[in-house]
């Protein structure tokens, strides 16, 4: 049975690229274009094996999604990889906050190819 990944990202081009890559690698992919949509999918009972989460999004940002997830026993244990393009000056602060909220990895979109992201996902899921 293939592992389920939830991509939470507001950039449709990136979503399409990651979804295509992840599906080619054998993952089952569900997408959410906002934090609010991601939380709704979880509340409706969708439990992915891993979440790839952007920080900057309309309505509910990635940190708010994480905080809400941590309060729910049903999805507190779902591993999360943060994937962002925040400017260099904000990286350290956001990386620290991400790890404090239980994120498994923190990746900069522009510094990682889809292949490298798949590799990180495999590491976290193994």
- Measure Cα distances from 110 to 86, 119, 122 in Å: 10, 16, 20
DSSP output for 63-117: HHHHHHHHT-TTTTTS-EEEEE---HHHHHHHHHHHHHTT-SEEEEGGG--HHHH
The whole-number mean pLDDT for each consecutive block of 10 residues of the chain, a chain of 126 residues, reads 94 96 97 96 95 92 93 91 78 82 90 93 95
pTM: predicted TM-score of the whole model, two decimal places: 0.93
pLDDT score for 93: 78
Grouping H, G, I as helix, E, B as strand and the rest as coil, residue 52 is strand
> What structural domains does the chain harbor?
4-113 (3.40.50.2300)
pLDDT score for 87: 63
- Percent share of the chain, pLDDT over 70: 97
pLDDT score for 97: 84
Give strand pairing partners of 53.
8, 82
Cβ proximity of 65 and 8 under 8 Å: yes
pLDDT score for 89: 63
Tens of pLDDT, residue by residue over 101-123, are: 889 999 988 889 999 999 999 99
């Amino acid at each position: 049975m293939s592992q389920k990944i939830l991509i939470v990202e507001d950039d449709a081009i990136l979503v399409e690229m990651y979804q295509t890559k992840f599906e080619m690698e054998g993952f089952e992919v569900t997408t959410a274009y906002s934090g609010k949509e991601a939380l709704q999918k979880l509340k409706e009972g969708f439990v992915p094996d891993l979440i790839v989460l952007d920080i900057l999004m309309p309505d509910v940002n990635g940190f708010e999604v994480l905080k809400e997830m941590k309060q729910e026993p049903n999805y507190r244990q779902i591993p999360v990889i943060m994937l962002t393009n925040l400017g260099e000056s904000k990286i350290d602060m956001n990386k620290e906050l991400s790890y404090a909220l239980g994120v498994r990895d923190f990746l900069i979109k522009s510094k990682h190819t889809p292949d490298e992201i798949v590799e990180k996902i495999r590491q976290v899921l193994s």
